Amino acid sequence: MLQECMDALNIKEDGIYVDVTFGGGGHSRAILKKLKNGKLIAFDQDPDAWNNQPSDKNFSLIKQNFRFMLNYLKYQNCLPVDGILADLGVSSHQFDDRTRGFSTRFDNALDMRMSQSGKKSAKTIINEYSAQQLQQVFSAYGEVRNARTLAAAIVKARKVKPVESVSELLHILESHAAGPNRNQYYAQVFQAVRMEVNEELEALKELLAQSSLALERGGRLVVMSYHSLEDRLVKNYINQGIFEGQAEKDVYGNRLNVPFRPVTKKPLTASAEEVKSNPRARSAKLRIAEKI
């Protein structure tokens, strides 16, 4: 949904823009093509992504998690900005790197850290979380149907031997993943663990709250999510200015302290043609908001 993202940002050639999920650099390069005297600041905590940065005088890369966005923009004297783009989730290169432990396709150490400097890995969670904590992770982040029995099975297995590799975790999952949706079950569990490892929802909340402070009036917030929990947070913050509940209203029913207005009532989704060429786009939801 590259073109949709570019259209949503409503790019001005002399504007200041932020790509908080640089990854392979595709979105950043597309933004740079539209800039003349403008500036693009990108964020990425993954060292594998740092080699992708373009050589462009209008570009700078911050080698940090986007949850620190506001501080770095202040430090670089780049506030306010005209647009913020976030393409959430795991980059394709992270899934395809067999050493990172994100994918069930490759056997390697349980890792799943987006930043290699992170102290908590998938192995930490699987081997050190209590059964109750594991159940909560599987339920909240993966919507795993038998989260309780799976958590108990993991705790039982690690008493015999620590669970340290992708194949060892899959071996435990096998007896709990019945029917034709076995691979979907594996993906749900791995997604849940990955989101816990990287504190993805917490970081997203911080990003959304900071975006309302960083953007110029009329500036655009463009967020592409791949999970219902992420999309719900984005939707609620855009529409209500909070993550849960209803926005405060005045005596006339007008919402108070809501920093954005939605540009589209419903999220944009990928075309059938794009899904055919990029199956990952099937679950993508693009939400666009404008700073009031």
**pLDDT tens, 160-176?**
999 999 999 999 999 89
Task: Quick: pLDDT tens for 174-191.
Answer: 989 877 788 899 999 999
Range from 86-90, 97-101, 150-154, 158-162 carrying the lowest mean pLDDT: 97-101
Q: Cα-Cα-Cα-Cα dihedral of 161, 162, 163, 164, to 10°?
A: -120
- Interval 102-149: pLDDT, tens: 788 888 999 999 887 778 999 999 999 999 999 999 999 999 999 999
Show the domains of the chain with their CATH numbers.
Answer: 2-92+200-291 (3.40.50.150), 116-197 (1.10.150.170)
Angle formed by the axes of helices 2-9 and 26-33, nearest 10° = 50
Decide if pLDDT at 31 tops 80.
yes
CA 30/CA 279 separation, integer angstroms: 22
Is a pLDDT exceeding 90 seen at residue 199?
yes
Task: Please tell me the distance from the alpha carbon of residue 155 to that of residue 166, in angstroms, as a whole number.
Answer: 16
Question: Is residue 92 very low, low, confident or very high in pLDDT (cuts 50, 70, 90)?
Answer: low
Helix (H) or strand (E) holding 225: strand 215-225
At 275 the pLDDT is 87
Out of 6-10, 155-159, 275-279, pick the least confident: 275-279
Higher pLDDT, 219 or 89: 219
pLDDT band for position 73 (cuts 50, 70, 90): very high
pLDDT for 177 equals 86
Backbone angles phi, psi at 83, to 5 degrees: -165, 145
Helix (H) or strand (E) holding 182: helix 182-197
Q: Is 200 left (phi over 0), alpha (psi -120 to 50) or beta?
A: alpha
* Mean pLDDT for the chain overall: 91
CB atoms closer than 10 angstroms to residue 155:
17
